[in-house]
Amino acid sequence: MNVGFRFVNLRAPDGGAVEAIYAERWTPQGAVETYTLRGMTEAIAARFRAEDYPEGDPLWETTGTVAEVITALLELPPHGAPGAPSTARHASSSLWVPGAR
């Protein structure tokens, strides 16, 4: 699934096996949407305000299977539209974004 996402293979510390796949896209509405896949049944997706990314808290976050999190992310209303998440919430301990501290 592309839909404007950029992908990065996250490798083991020794540079060996791919441990996860990370994807992100920057939307024209000022949001960054991400998902990380560790296996078919272990995935997490999030939406951030562009100005808060990668250090800030997400506006929205979900975990589940790959199909569940990607479907939920793609079903979100565009950032800033009625019904779209607009209040940052504390990130869960499951959420990790490359480049964040």
Dihedral sign of CA atoms 2, 41, 76, 10 in order: negative
The pTM score is 0.88
Specify the pairing of strand 60-64 against strand 42-49. Answer: antiparallel
Specify the pairing of strand 60-64 against strand 6-11. Answer: unpaired
30-76 residue pLDDT tens: 999 999 999 999 999 999 999 999 999 999 999 999 999 999 999 99
Average pLDDT over residues 8-29: 93
